[in-house]
Amino acid sequence: MHRPLTRPLRALAAAGLTATLALTASGPAGATAETSEKPRDTTAVVTPGDFTGYGFDQCLAPTQKAMNTWLKYSPFLSVGIYISGDSRACRDQPNLSKRWVSTQLRKGWRLLPITLGPQASCQPRFPRYDDDFKISPKPGKKGTYPRARKMGRAEATKAVAAAQDLGIAPGSTLWYDLEGYDNSNTHCRESALQFLSSWTKGLHKLDYVSGVYSSAGSGIKALDEARVNRPEAFTLPDMIWIARWDGIANTSTSYIRNDGWRPGGRVKQYQGGHNETWGGVTINIDRNYLEVGRGSYAPEEVYCDGVGLAFPEYPVLKFGQENLPEARVRALQCLLQQQGLYAGNLNGRYTKKTLAAANAWQVSKGWKASETWSQRQWVSLLVAGETPVLKIGSAGSAVRRLQRALNAASPGTVKALGVFNTATRDALLAYQKRVGAEQTGIAAPATWKMLKRGAK
């Protein structure tokens, strides 16, 4: 098994994750019903955090307009960005800035900051420029490749400086891009492993998490062999990013064993460079699938001291009707209390106070005050709150609100677990089709608008 994070780094990363569990891809953090939702302080955001879903990488950081469009229309919620390294093709990054990073984190993007510095000594395509270098293959007198190790430490220091300049928080994973090379060349392979070992040690010392990107058949295979056969010889990365263009959106490959860097330590680049167009914006990208941290995760939430809000269906309620389901009435009272409209007891009875609060909500949404609480009104109240873009991989309060509203619009649609999974996407697609909205499977502004109107 690969070496775990050191205790200080593990604690720091855990603290960062705790502070940003609502950094979910859903946008601003999902607070419990006992608190209000507040904008995130992105200076504390650990990236990529807990996430299972799709990502892309592209050498040049896209414009903000492109990122906004792809957030609304693409399946991706993670983006790889080259932040440092003398061997990267995109040394000039006109769009990349501290503000760019902060904006993406605030909107819910998971960032994969990449360094492409010295490459393996037997890599034929490098050096790319006159002023970059390959990893030294010289073993030294003791066969410990001291020059390679020194270079790895230097790259870690430069990568952390670049990350800090961009506002990427400690506890975040920084990735080293080691392009494919010939593993049969002993000095080339061993010097690369020593380089990466020092890279990882350097990041740990500076309170960042180590990730390594490489081809499945060279760098990743070498790391896995070292993990199993020489576990004490190297300090191995905390996460791996496997380049294996097999077109399969998972984190598996036959080149390495199934147990390494699992759970929560793998990314796979499953499709190489190609053009994709979303919302009319075309970018040349690689496609990735991520399984990192705990995966997309929604912490438990408590509403009104334990009132349940999630049900497979939300029936019509009528004032004066006998045998109304108390649990649903109590949920209505809690939801109206959250909106500042109800101050009575959460007793599950459709009292005059409950009716008055329900009428206030109806009127605020342009409906006529009525003794009947309809399914449309359930939809509008259940979805009330902030409206971040949600897609596969999103998690948190906003996802729960969406899932509950979908169940009100179409009973038994999806479990309100707070994680946007394929079932949620399919339910949202069906809803969008039914109400005549653009069928994207993504909760973007137009869909939120329909839900807030109670369309069903």
Give dist(CA 118, CA 126) in Å, integer. Answer: 8
Ordered by start, the domain boundaries in the chain are 7-292, 317-452
User: Looking at the predicted structure, is the pLDDT value of residue 25 above 50?
Assistant: no
Assess whether the region 7-292 and the region 317-452 belong to the same CATH fold.
no
pTM, rounded to two decimals:
0.89
Residues 287-342 pLDDT 10s:
999 999 999 999 999 999 999 999 999 999 999 999 999 999 999 999 999 999 99
pLDDT-derived band at 163, boundaries 50, 70, 90: very high
What pLDDT score does 65 carry?
Answer: 98
User: Looking at the predicted structure, is the pLDDT value of residue 10 above 80?
Assistant: no
What pLDDT score does 40 carry?
Answer: 56
Give dist(CA 416, CA 204) in Å, integer. Answer: 38
CA 283 to chain centre: 20
Report the range of poorest mean pLDDT among 5-14, 226-235, 261-270, 413-422: 5-14
pLDDT-derived band at 277, boundaries 50, 70, 90: very high
Report the range of poorest mean pLDDT among 4-13, 78-87, 111-120, 319-328: 4-13
What pLDDT score does 185 carry?
Answer: 98
CA atoms within 13 A on the CB side of 35: 9
H/E segment holding residue 268: strand 265-278
User: Looking at the predicted structure, is the pLDDT value of residue 24 above 60?
Assistant: no
- Mean pLDDT over the full length of the chain: 92
User: Looking at the predicted structure, is the pLDDT value of residue 354 above 70?
Assistant: yes
Say if residues 148 and 135 touch (Cβ distance below 8 Å). Answer: yes
pLDDT-derived band at 1, boundaries 50, 70, 90: very low
What pLDDT score does 339 carry?
Answer: 97
User: Looking at the predicted structure, is the pLDDT value of residue 35 above 50?
Assistant: no
User: Prior bond to 231 cis, omega within 30?
Assistant: no
Residues 175-229 pLDDT 10s:
999 999 999 999 999 999 999 999 999 999 999 999 999 999 999 999 999 999 9
Can you list the alpha helix ranges (DSSP code H) found in 345-421? 352-364, 375-382, 397-409
pLDDT-derived band at 9, boundaries 50, 70, 90: very low
Residue 211, helix vs strand vs coil: strand
Q: What is the mean pLDDT of residues 252-274?
A: 98
User: Looking at the predicted structure, is the pLDDT value of residue 14 above 90?
Assistant: no
User: Looking at the predicted structure, is the pLDDT value of residue 31 above 60?
Assistant: no
Give dist(CA 427, CA 73) in Å, integer. Answer: 17
User: Looking at the predicted structure, is the pLDDT value of residue 397 above 50?
Assistant: yes
Structure tokens at 371: 């003794």
Q: What is the mean pLDDT of residues 149-158?
A: 98
Q: What percent of the chain has pLDDT over 90?
A: 89
Give dist(CA 47, CA 394) in Å, integer. Answer: 14
- Angle ∠(178,182,183) on CA atoms, nearest 5: 90
What pLDDT score does 44 carry?
Answer: 86
pLDDT-derived band at 43, boundaries 50, 70, 90: confident
The CATH code of the domain at 317-452 is 1.10.101.10
Q: Cβ neighbours of residue 137 under 8 Å, at least 6 residues apart?
A: 121, 122, 145, 148, 187, 188, 191
Give dist(CA 152, CA 107) in Å, integer. Answer: 33
Checking 183-187 for CB contacts under 8 A at 24+ apart, the result is 183/217, 183/218, 183/221, 183/222, 185/121, 185/122, 187/121, 187/137, 187/138, 187/139
Give dist(CA 181, CA 178) in Å, integer. Answer: 9
Residues 408-441 pLDDT 10s:
999 998 999 999 999 999 999 999 999 999 999 9
Q: Between 3.30.565.10, 3.30.70.260, 3.40.50.300, 3.20.20.80, what CATH number should domain 7-292 receive?
A: 3.20.20.80
CA atoms within 13 A on the CB side of 347: 9
What pLDDT score does 42 carry?
Answer: 74
